[in-house]
Amino acid sequence: MVRCNKAGCRFCEKGKGKGHGPIWILSVSLGNRQVRQIPIPSELKKEVEESRRAFAQMQKVLKQIAQVNLELFQERKRQRR
Ligand SMILES: [Zn+2]
């Protein structure tokens, strides 16, 4: 929910109004502590949410692969000589 802070707005009235929305914001991490916030139109929310979930799943798998590779590397080091 967001507040427009316009005088007399019935949605933003203190103690009564809930503000405007709900609106949906996608936070995209760009690295270097940079985050971009992108407003999502409600008709695209489902699609964005599915993409976000797929991205999170892919990151999880990549971390697992990295972990396996690290273990394999350490095993190879142990078996030297
Ligand atoms: Zn308002």
Ligand 1 center to 74 CA (angstroms): 59
Ligand 1 center to 3 CA (angstroms): 5
Q: Parallel, antiparallel, or unpaired: how do β-strands 24-31 and 34-40 relate?
A: antiparallel
Q: Model confidence at 14, in pLDDT bands (50, 70, 90)?
A: confident
The model's pTM = 0.67
Neighbours of ion ligand 1 (CB under 5 A): 4, 9, 11-12
Q: What is the pLDDT of residues 46-71, one digit of tens each?
A: 999 999 999 999 999 999 999 999 99
Ligand 1 center to 34 CA (angstroms): 29
Ligand 1 center to 7 CA (angstroms): 8
